[in-house]
Amino acid sequence: MNLVNLSRLRRGQGEIAGHVIDEYAAGRLSRRDFIRRGTVVGISIPVIDAILTACGSSPSSTGPASTAASASSSGSATAAGQAGATINAGIVVPTAEINPLTVADQGGLDMLAQTGEYLCLSDQSLTLHPVLATSWTPNATADVWTFKIRQGVKFSNGHPLTAADVVYTYQLQTNPKSSGNALSAFGGVLQPSGVVKVDDYTVAFHLEAPNGNFPYLTSSDNYNMIILPSGYNPASWQGTFLGTGPFILKSYTPKVGASFTANPSYWGTKALPAATNFTFYETQTPGVLALTAGNIDVLGQFAVTGGEQLLSGGYNVIKLRSSAHRELSMRCDQAPFTDPRVRQAIALTLDRPAIVQALFKGNADLGNDSPFAPVFPSTDTAVAQRAQNVAKAKSLLAAAGHAAGFTTRLITENFLEIPQFAQIVAQEAAAIGVKVNLTVESSSAYYGKATFGNSDWLDAPMSLVDYGHRSVPNVFLTAPLETINAKTGTGSWNAAHFASAQYDKLAAQYIAAVDLSSQKTIAGQIENLLLEQTPIIYAYFYNYLTATAKNVSGVYPTAIGHLFLYNASKS
């Protein structure tokens, strides 16, 4: 280790970044965790590489700052192709109008990111890359984060990007009166008054409390947060797809598809394809058939169940280990689920290894009834894994006064493997005398208005919903589990209607923690609390699967559901 160089590199990095460097130098952070954590706290990739070299390790080999260039760094098909192709892709149909304020589904978020861009990109390895922000730094307590905004960027209508546009976007998205979907991430974190223009290309975010992972909330993980021009009405976005990205809109037909052409005025590396076409599919089967018939080049996501042909050879399959999962919520405010023993009993009926094998052929990690996926570095893997135990489930049910079982209703959506999983839940529950009446709806009917009282997702006695990948568990810890508070915006996705002051306190402590060891300690406490309470069953965290034709290269999906085609080509 070159201590002289390390000391020189550490100077000027700030207290939090300096602590991360010290942790790595002392051997308490792995190389991978150092790269990931370093990008979060604002250490630039060149400095990270210099520190790795000083410590005797190889450089990070991460992609450059441009979204398009970053998006091709890994996880894509490897065949070389020519620029200028038209790439035809298939994705799930967006469930509602494409509005940056209200999009809450995978098809919608994918459309946002075709022309819109974020302050930073969270890549396939959970590492952050600068996009419309060139750098960011926290203060010593991580409750103020300062972002430098990229200069020389223009929106597709010619409007130049400045700090005023970033401030407008974030004040709009954090306003509790806006009913924006991003409030699920920003509730209790950031208020409009906390978004401050420092100068024409600098924005400071003054948070409501310390937050060690805040930059992820400005990234592609927080998919609503594409930057809009100051004063722009997001309700008009579907007509223009106004953004700063490497593509511009050619046409959009709701429920049918969309077409884009390369943006000749893009600030970064120009897109390789001349054009892209997206076809929307309500279900997986027609998408699989379209790929196998050669009608599309890329299928944005597919499940193992129904996608066996794509896994059997003849296609490039991109597999991303992820935190993507399904949440089986039980209404903690409605009998019989007011008793945690009842909720535990349902959880104990599930044979999780068998579910992972049946639905994913092993392409998933077991879930342990908390949102801490194995892919997260902060997950406490020492917490014992919950296993099927029907005898114990029956005993708990009897102790709760339901020895003869009960009848309840489970509502879910027709999306990928979810209907099959819902059927398994109903079958397994029958072993302890619980009859689950199952209703499977279209995604649009299931989500409804995505607000309490107007959504089967949020109102049903039992609700099974899809949750896309995130690079850190913050949103999983807040939106579906924190106590519902309309004034602060917390608990906005709390379909279980779970309320625990102890949990809220632990979640706040985790979010405030800036070092990995502290995060892991608190994570273990949360994992044990949720095993005891079991408001939500997390049975598995599945690999995100994308397929392309063999002659297609450069496709870059992210596990949250983006499909970046900036560097796609055909040979």
More reliable by pLDDT, 517 or 197: 197
DSSP string, 295-327: S-SEES---STT-HHHHSSSEEEEEE----EEE
Query: 162: pLDDT confidence band, cut at 50, 70 and 90?
Result: very high
**CA atoms of 324 and 466, how far apart (whole Å):** 8
Q: Flag whether pLDDT at 74 surpasses 60.
A: no
CB atoms within 10 A of CB 142: 21
Q: How do residues 139-152 score in pLDDT, each as one tens digit?
A: 999 999 999 999 99
**CA atoms of 120 and 113, how far apart (whole Å):** 12
53's enclosing H/E stretch is helix 45-54
Tell me which of 110-124, 179-193, 412-426 is least confident. 179-193
The conformation of residue 543, written as its DSSP 8-state character, comes to: P
**CA atoms of 356 and 540, how far apart (whole Å):** 7
Q: Flag whether pLDDT at 11 surpasses 90.
A: no
Tell me which of 72-86, 96-110, 225-239 is least confident. 72-86
Q: What is the CA radius of gyration of the chain?
A: 23
Q: Flag whether pLDDT at 464 surpasses 70.
A: yes
Class of domain 325-542: alpha beta
Do the beta carbons of residue 412 and residue 438 sit within 8 Å?
A: yes
**CA atoms of 166 and 205, how far apart (whole Å):** 11
State mean pLDDT over 365-391: 97
Q: In the chain, where are the structural domains located?
A: 3-61, 325-542
CB atoms within 10 A of CB 512: 19
Block residue for tokens 């949990």: 503
Is the dihedral angle over the CA atoms 75, 246, 268, 119 positive or is it negative?
negative
Residue 427 DSSP SS3: helix
Tokens for 493, please give them. Answer: 């996705």
DSSP string, 167-183: HHHHHHHH-GGGT-TTH
Length reported for the chain? 571
State mean pLDDT over 104-133: 95
State mean pLDDT over 229-248: 97
**CA atoms of 431 and 429, how far apart (whole Å):** 5
This prediction has a pTM of 0.83
Q: What is the pLDDT of residue 65?
A: 35
Task: Give the residue ranges of DSSP H helices in 95-238.
Answer: 106-115, 163-174, 183-186
Q: What is the pLDDT of residue 397?
A: 98
395's enclosing H/E stretch is helix 390-399
β-bridge pairing 275-281 and 257-262 = antiparallel
Give whole-number Cα distances, 544 to 267, 317, 324, 369, 453, in Å. Answer: 30, 10, 8, 20, 32
Tell me which of 178-187, 261-270, 402-411 is least confident. 178-187
Block residue for tokens 């760094």: 73
CB atoms within 10 A of CB 290: 18
State mean pLDDT over 83-106: 94
